Amino acid sequence: MADIKSVGVIGAGQMGSGIAHVCALAGYDVFLNDLDGDRITAGISRIEHNMARQVGRGLIDDAAMKAALARIRPASLEVVAGTDIAIEAATENEDTKKAIFRSLLPHLGANTLLASNTSSISITRLASTTDRPERFIGLHFMNPVPLMKLVEVIRGIATDIATYETAVTFAQSLGKTTTNAEDFPAFIVNRVLVPMINEAIYTLYEGVGTVESIDTAMKLGANHPMGPLELGDFIGLDTVLSIMNVLHEGLADSKYRPCPLLVKYVEAGWLGKKVGRGFYDYRGDVPVPTR
């Protein structure tokens, strides 16, 4: 199996910065890339803030935080391509992800493993964009990465066993529990979770309940820590819609049809917490339902 010492992360948003965070704490040299240099700066600031919170809670000490932060460096795609494993953590759009892997190709090290953090898109299709489908794997981290314990590991049809075993060992070295998922639309977690969110939106759309009543019902009636509409806002309604489209197109089953109200919210730019408004308005001191 490959000896992983350096990790490249492409995408410095919430997921990419979270992956960089846990890799640096685990002792890996981390090279963080994004098209926008300001996003790299913001990503590193987010990592520092989140690590400081861990220090405050006694989960890590100050020395561990300082050592981890020193391991994270901004990097070009050329540098990322030379790491032991390069993890793509860009927006959930197949064309965008394929473009990233194509741009890496001319610079890849001979032994570099490639991974995608996609939450729904075919690993086999993404791998076919590269020159090494046998060294390509899906590593689906959960959000927020520093807190969530699971990583779904997904093999494409051409992924070899050594790549899979290396990926599992790597994910477990980050303190994560791994589960194997087959390469079908949305894998395990989002195959179950996102249609539930979509059904909650249908329940709102059809007037069965209000935003508050739906979320309260699922929190208290099903013991969920967060209601499905609040969870959709947390994930990002654009991501929820993207995953529903992948399920609908990939499985050709009408039960995966995105709710028209979800489509309207995305068209309006009401994408959830990250923009301040989704099924709740987050711009005040207390979130207020928008319907």
Catalytic entry in 6, 33, 117, 119: 119
Q: Which of 6, 92, 116, 152 is catalytic?
A: 152
Backbone phi, then psi, for 127, in 5-degree steps?
-65, -30
Is 49 a catalytic site residue? no
DSSP letters, 228-239, are HHHHHHHH-HHH
DSSP SS3 for 191: helix
Catalytic annotation on 140?
yes
> In the annotation, is 190 catalytic?
yes
DSSP characters for 99-164?
HHHHHHGGG--TT-EEEE--SSS-HHHHHTTSS-GGGEEEEEEPSSTTT--EEEEEE-TT--HHHH
Where residue 58 falls (left for φ over 0; alpha for ψ -120 to 50; beta otherwise) is: left
Closest Cα partner for 89 from 97, 81, 98? Answer: 97
Cα 217 to chain centroid, rounded = 27
Q: How far apart are CA 127 and CA 140, in angstroms?
A: 15
Annotation says 152 is catalytic: yes
Catalytic residue among 116, 190, 198, 242: 190
Distance separating alpha carbons of residues 266 and 216, to the nearest angstrom: 24
Question: What is the CB-side half-sphere exposure of residue 266 using CA atoms within 13 A?
Answer: 18
Candidates 21, 140, 198, 248; catalytic one: 140
d(Cα 251, Cα 214) in Å, to the nearest integer? 27
What is the token pair recorded at 27? 């002792």
Q: Which residues are catalytic?
A: 119, 140, 152, 190
